Amino acid sequence: MKKIMTATALMLATTSLASAEGQLQLFNWGNYTNPELLKKFEAETGITVTVTDYDSNDAALAKVEAGGSGFDLVVPSANYVPIWIEKGLIVELDNSKLANKGNIAPEWMDVAWDPGRKFTVPWQWGSTGIAVNTKVYGGDINTSDIFLNVPAELKGKINVVPEMNDVVNMAIFWAGGEPCTEDLEVLKKARDALIAAKPDWISMDYGATEKLSNRDWAASLNWNGSTMRARIATEGEVQYGYPKEGYPLWMDSVALLKDAQNVEEAYKFIDFIMLPENAAMISDFAKYANGIAGSEAFMPEDMKTAPEVVIPEEHKAAGRFLPTCGPKAQEYMTAIWTELQK
C-alpha cells in the first residue's frame, strides 16, 4: 500500500506543471489538428503544444465554463462564438501581437458572429450540400429538391445526415425562409416537405464517406470534405451539389480563453496559423478550407482545384451562415425535428 501511495505521490508531483515555460494547451475538435503543424511550431518557437479533444460545442463550453480547465485556446463553431463572448469566457485579441492578422481573407474578416474579428481568427470552414452519384442520377444536382422532392432515380437510395440545424434550415431555405425563422407559414411548408419526402429516404445516418464510396447510397445530404473523399474514391461518380435555394456554411475559429495561463505562447500560435503556408497545413490534414488568403498556393494539388473546397463563383451567393437562434425558433426547429425522427 505504501508503494502505491509513493507512486501516486510521485506521479502527482510530475504532472502538475500546466503553466510551465514554453507550453501551450489547445482544446480542439478531435482529429482536427495536424501533428506536423505542431512540430513545425515547436521547431520555430520552442513551445510544446498539448492538444486535448472534444466532440461537441456543448461539451467544450461546459468544461471551460466550470472553470479551472487549464486550457489556453479553444476552437468553437460560428454559432457558438457569441455565446462564448457573452459568457465572458474568451477575451478580445490584442492586435499589436498579431502581425499576420492582415492575412485573413477579406470575406472572413467582418463576419456576423464576430464583427471585425475582435475575438477570433479563422481555423477551418466548410459547407453542407448534397452529394449525388451522377451515374445514377443525371439531372441538376444544385437544388434541395434532390432530398425534398426526391427524383425517381434516387428514391430509396438517398440518405440524410442526422444534423438538425443543417437539415431543418435547408428545408427552410427551400421554403423561402431565413435561418431561425419564426414565420409559421414557412415553417409549415418546410415541415410538410420534410415529412412527405422522408419515405423516399433510405436512412438518416452518418458515415456518408463510406456509403457513398462503396455505392451503397446513391446520394446524401452531406458535408463538403466528406464528399470530396467520396468523389476521389469513386473516380468522379459522386459530385457535390450546392442547392440554389440556399445551403449552410460553417466555420470554426480560434479564440483565447480568459483564464489562459500561457497567454504569450497563445498569441504566438494564433499569429503562426495565420501565415498562408501554416494555414495550408491545417487544411491539408482535415481537408477543409481555412480562410487565410494565399494559403491555396501551399495546398496539395487535389485540394487547390476541388469544387467541394473552392466554391464555384456561381454558387457562392446561396451559402449562408447559421446564426445562434432564439429560444422560440429553436423550439420550432426541435418540434419539426422530433416529428421527422418518429
Partner 1 sequence: MAERGFQVARLPGFATTAVLVFIALYLPIFTLVAYSFNASQSVAVWGGFSFGWYEKAWANTQVKEATVRSLIIAVSASGIATTVAALAALGTTRRARFKGQTAIYVMINQPLMVPEIVTAVALLIFFAQIKVATGYQGLGYLILAHSAFCIPFAYLPIRARLEGMDLSLETAAADLYASSWQTFRHVTLPLLLPGIIAGAMLAFVISLDDVVITEFVKSGGQDTLPTYMLGQLRRQLTPEINAISTGLLALTVVLLTAFFLLTRKKE
- Judged by CB under 8 A, the residue of 2, 31, 43, 88 near partner 1 is 31
Three-state DSSP class for residue 73: strand
User: In the complex, what is the shortest distance from the CB of residue 59 to partner 1, in angstroms, rounded to a whole number?
Assistant: 7
Three-state DSSP class for residue 206: coil
Among 57, 104, 108, 111, residue whose Cα is nearest residue 84: 57
Stretch that binds partner 1, among 82-90, 145-153, 225-233, 331-339 (CB under 8 A): 225-233
Distances (CA, A) of 300 to 243, 284, 326: 27, 7, 41
- Judged by CB under 8 A, the residue of 2, 43, 68, 342 near partner 1 is 68
Stretch that binds partner 1, among 8-16, 81-89, 183-191, 302-310 (CB under 8 A): 8-16
Is residue 132 within 8 A of residue 241, CB to CB? The reply is: yes
Site string for partner 1, 271-290 (x = CB under 8 A): ---------------x----
Distances (CA, A) of 37 to 46, 73, 98, 157, 280: 13, 16, 18, 40, 10
For residues 50 and 143, which CB has a smaller minimum distance to partner 1 in the complex? 50
Stretch that binds partner 1, among 113-121, 209-217, 248-256, 307-315 (CB under 8 A): 209-217
How many residues sit in the footprint of partner 1 (CB under 8 A)?
A: 42
| DSSP codes, 10-66 | HHHHHT--TT-TTEEEEEEETT-S-HHHHHHHHHHH-PEEEEEEES-HHHHHHHHHH
For residues 142 and 253, which CB has a smaller minimum distance to partner 1 in the complex? 253
R_g of the chain computed on alpha carbons = 22
User: In the complex, what is the shortest distance from the CB of residue 19 to partner 1, in angstroms, rounded to a whole number?
Assistant: 8
User: In the complex, what is the shortest distance from the CB of residue 199 to partner 1, in angstroms, rounded to a whole number?
Assistant: 26
CA distance 76 to 92: 15
Span 39-58, contacts to partner 1 by CB under 8 A: 50-55
Among 239, 244, 270, residue whose Cα is nearest residue 119: 270
Task: Indicate whether 6 belongs to the interface with partner 1 (CB under 8 A).
Answer: no
Task: Indicate whether 209 belongs to the interface with partner 1 (CB under 8 A).
Answer: yes
**Residue 174: burial class (beta carbons within 10 Å; 0-12, 13-18, 19+):** buried
Task: Indicate whether 162 belongs to the interface with partner 1 (CB under 8 A).
Answer: no
Contacts with partner 1 by CB under 8 A lie at 1, 4, 7-8, 11-12, 14-16, 18-19, 25, 27, 29-32, 35, 50-55, 59, 62-63, 66-71, 209-211, 213-214, 226, 229, 233, 286
